[in-house]
Structures are given as structure tokens and as C-alpha cells.
Amino acid sequence: MKKIPLPWRTLTFSLVAIGLVILALGGYLTPVSRVALSPIISVQTWVSDRFQAVQSLLTAPSDTVQVLQRNAELESEIAHLRTQIIELQQQLAEFRILSALLDFARAYPEYQYTGASVIGRDPSPFMKYIHINRGSDDGLLRGMPVVTQQGLVGRVAQVTASAALVQLITDPGITVNVQLDPSSAESLLTGSITGDINLDSIPQEANIEPGELVLTSGLGGNYPPNILIGQVTGVRSQDYALFQSASVQPIVDFSRLEIVLVITNFQPIDLSPLILTPSAR
């Protein structure tokens, strides 16, 4: 066989190579390359997978320990972050309450307030009283009204140096002079052992409708006027009775009291010297 001269061989290979490059750039070799490369890639993938499997098998013990350590660290961090979230949620809830109390204080600028946390409830189920963490050292006196951002809570019943007992308006032993809005009828609010509050002594001629607002009237001198208590939910009126009565939905949720305000510049008036006793008549 006659040997092709070297310059011609070089020229031929160059032309073939240039032709293949041009065909490849033109996209004409794509089906060919796909068919040709597919088995090669499959084999490479298989080899690579097996290598990685063997590698992970050989290095597994040290990695497992590291992973477990890292997992413990991350779990610890998650627990810490969860604690922080709970603390922040508590602070946020407290901030919201304080913000609402501040709004209330701004709405009634004529009064001075002392904020107090509710630290307990009366151990006797008959007594609707709460314990607060402010006492005579903070300027609290017996009879001072206690409110929240929503409305009237009760009044200070007993005071020690650093704590006080507050009688709630749901206590069966309490009576509050109230007026209704918009009818302007005067009434007496009383608590009960069920925790409900009721209105008594509503004049028969008063036209009371459910939905009327119940506010302190200031009569009797025990509470400042115009502090919201609740809303009338039902009226009981009988033709032969002297007065009407009504049930009231309190605006304050007494089961969830956390922070309250004591009005410190309101001094209740003691009317007992004005009440005639049989001997004085």
C-alpha cells in the first residue's frame, strides 16, 4: 500500500477536524454525541456512586459522631431560641396590657394611677378578691378604686405594707352606684357567688333596653363617676314589683386579670356619720 505523504495526511486530518468542529458548532452532531456519550455517562455515574458509597462507609463512624454532636448543639440552640420566643411573647403581651393601661390613664388625666400586678386570688371560693403587689408603701389606702384599661375592677379592701386585697365588683358583698347610658337611669350594681353582676333598684318608669352601657355614677362617694362597668344583657320587669332589675355583662374579664391600676388620688367619702342611728333620732 502506497504511503500518503505527510503534508497531505496533515492537511486531510486538519480538514476533517475543522469539518467536525463546524458540524458540531452547527448542531449537526448532537444526536450522534448523545448516543455516544450516554453509555459513558451511565458508566461514570455507576462508578462514582459506588465510590461515594464505599467512601461514606469508610468515613461513617467519625461523621456520625460529628453529626450527633452537631444535632445536639442545634437542638440546644432551638430550645434556647424557643425560650427566648416565649419570653418575648410574654413581654409583648405585657407591653400590650401596659400600652392599653396608658391609653386609659390618658383618657382620664384627672386621676393619678399606680400600676400593680395580680399575684393571687382569695383562697375562699366565697370571696371574689384578688391580691396585688402594691401596698401602703406605694401610697395605697383602703377604699381606693381599682381599674383596668377596660373598666372598673373593684376597690382596695385591705392593705399591708407591700400588698393589698382588692374586692372585685363580682363579689356578693359589694354594691356600686351606677347609671345607665343612654337612659340615664340610676341603679345599684351587686355581685353574686356565680360571678355574675346584676342591677337592682331600677325605677319602674325607667325605659331600659338591652345593650345600654353601665357606668359608675359617683353617688355615695365610693367610686369616681363615668367609669365603664359593662353592658345590660337582659331586663326583668314585673308589674307588681317596686323596681326593675337587670343582668349585666361585665367589660372586664375577671378570670384573666394580670395588671391593674389603682386610682391613688381618689379618696372615698365615709357617709356613715351622716346615717341616722335609732339613738340619734
Partner 1 sequence: MIQVLIAIPIFILVTIIQTAIISNMPLLQGTADIIMLVIIAWALQEPVRTAWYWSLIGGTILGFTSALPLGITIVSYLIITGITLIIRRRIWKIPALVMLAITFIGTLFHQGLSAITLTLLGTTLPILETLELIIMPSILLNILLAIPVFAIVRDLAAWLHPEEVEI
List of residues contacting partner 1 (CB under 8 A) = 119-127, 129, 131, 157-158, 165, 167, 172-173, 190, 192-195
Report the nearest approach of partner 1 to the CB of residue 100 (Å).
22
Please, which residue, 129 or 223, has the CB nearer to partner 1?
Answer: 129
Report the nearest approach of partner 1 to the CB of residue 196 (Å).
10
Instruction: Kindly state the cell numbers that stand for 267.
Output: 379618696
Report the nearest approach of partner 1 to the CB of residue 71 (Å).
36
Please, which residue, 164 or 214, has the CB nearer to partner 1?
Answer: 164
Map residue 60 onto helix, strand or coil.
Answer: helix
Q: Is 130 within 8 Å of 120 (Cβ atoms)?
A: yes
Q: Is 183 within 8 Å of 212 (Cβ atoms)?
A: yes
Report the nearest approach of partner 1 to the CB of residue 195 (Å).
6
- Give the DSSP H or E segment for 18: helix 6-25
The greatest distance separating any two alpha carbons of the chain, rounded to the nearest whole angstrom, comes to: 155
**Residue written as grid cell 391613688:** 264
Instruction: Kindly state the cell numbers that stand for 44.
Output: 461514570
- Give the DSSP H or E segment for 189: strand 186-190
Please, which residue, 228 or 246, has the CB nearer to partner 1?
Answer: 246
How would you classify residue 232: left for phi > 0, otherwise alpha for psi between -120 and 50, otherwise beta?
beta
Please, which residue, 195 or 268, has the CB nearer to partner 1?
Answer: 195
Alpha-carbon distance 74 to 237, whole Å? 67
Report the nearest approach of partner 1 to the CB of residue 255 (Å).
8
Please, which residue, 46 or 126, has the CB nearer to partner 1?
Answer: 126
